[in-house]
Every structure is written in structure tokens, then in C-alpha cells.
A and B are shown apart, each in its own frame.
Chain A
Amino acid sequence: SSELTQDPAVSVALGQTVRITCQGDSLRSHYVSWYQQKAGQAPVLVIFGKNNRPSGIPDRFSGSGSGNTASLTITGAQAEDEADYYCNSRDSSGNLLYVFGTGTKVTVL
């Protein structure tokens, strides 16, 4: 199976911008989605497709990507954005399989 690689941790000052990246071969040909997981809670979808936000997700969350890399950007980070973030896509070894990224811990200073 393939891997989706993320930086383990990033920090951002309150109100500033942070970008989280996800790298993997499967991203060249499959959609990526992003999930926010706060401590002790189930994951929540924040971005899907090219750059779509579910209802209720603030517009400070946006997605982008090129080639084998996808990015999640938080513009004007808030204290409540402190969480683990995971990307997800299909596995490059088989269209029927899925894989999650290694996860990024975002700390808001």
C-alpha cells in the first residue's frame, strides 16, 4: 500500500496563516480530503475535492494541490483550530483502497 506523508507538527501564532502539506503518489490521480481531530473527539471533515468546505466549516480553511502534493491552509488561525489534521485519499496501489496521512499536530501559539 502507498503512504501519504505529512509533517508531524507545525505551530502558528494566533491570527497568522499556516499551511499543512500531504505528499503521495496517489494524489496525482485521486481526490484528497482533510480531517480535523480535536483531542478526545471523532474526526471532522474540513475540506474535500479540489477546495470544498462542508457547511459549518469556516472559510479560513482552504485546500489546494499540484502533482503529488496537497495542502490545507488555515488563514487567520484561531485557538480552536489547534488539533490533529489528517489527509485522506485512495491508495495508489488499488482504486478500491483508501489511506490516511501520517497526521500533523497544529499548535496555535
Chain B
Amino acid sequence: QVQLVQSGAEVKKPGASVKVSCKASGYTFTGYYIHWVRQAPGQRLEWMGWMNANSGGKVYAQQFQGRVTMTRDTSISTAYLELSGLRGDDTAIYYCARGGGPWDEIDPWGQGTLVTVSS
């Protein structure tokens, strides 16, 4: 079945960087996009950007420009999200999800990775 499995929880200090991985299985990785979405505690879903898993082309939400980097390794069907200059309000669950379908649907989602930023 189509599945996205993310790396484990991280605890980082303010100013540090974090890199989250997302391993895809059950479909042709390069045939779709990968979206990254985050959710702070008790808050709404926040779209961060997407990456074309084939070309590597990417689009970032404006509020993350300059701090976020999305990459992939097609040989192992894995996408990565790196966020730098971490602040306390970056504490959130980070989700990867498959996109690029004909109806712009985002499905399925990874299980989420909790990133905690604390001194």
C-alpha cells in the first residue's frame, strides 16, 4: 500500500537546524510531489511548501522563505525537510504528504514528526 514513513521526534535548541526525512513506498516516488505541512500544538494545519520528486523543483510558502530547504534522494525514495534558525514557535508536528494528483489532492500523509525547540 502507499505509505509515507517519517523520522523520529527531535529536540533542538533555538538557532539550530533540524532535518526530517520521509520515506515513500508502494508507488513510483518520482511520479508525484511531496508536500510538507506543520501543526503547532492546538493550532491549524500550515502549508510549508512542495517539491516535485522527479525534477526536484520546489515552491515554498512565503513565511518560510530563506529558512526552509526541501530535497530528495530518488535512489531511496526519500524526501527531506530542513528548517534552520529554529525558534520556539517552530515547535510543531511536521507532516509530509503525497501530492500531484489530478485533483490536487494531498494523500496519503506520513505519521508526523514532533520537533520541539527549547533551550
Residues in chain A within 8 A of chain B (CB atoms): 1, 30-31, 33, 35, 37, 42-45, 48-49, 52, 54, 86, 88-90, 96-103
Contact = CB atoms under 8 A, between A and B. Distances in A.
Contacts of A54: 105, 107
Interface of B: 35, 37, 44-47, 50, 59, 61-62, 95, 97, 101-112
Contacts of A45: 105-108
A89 B103 CA distance: 10
Residue among B37, B45, B50, B109 with the highest chain A CB neighbour number at 10 A? B45
A103 B111 contact: no
Contacts, number: 67
A99 B47 contact: yes
| Chain A binding surface, main DSSP class | strand
B69 to A, nearest CB: 17
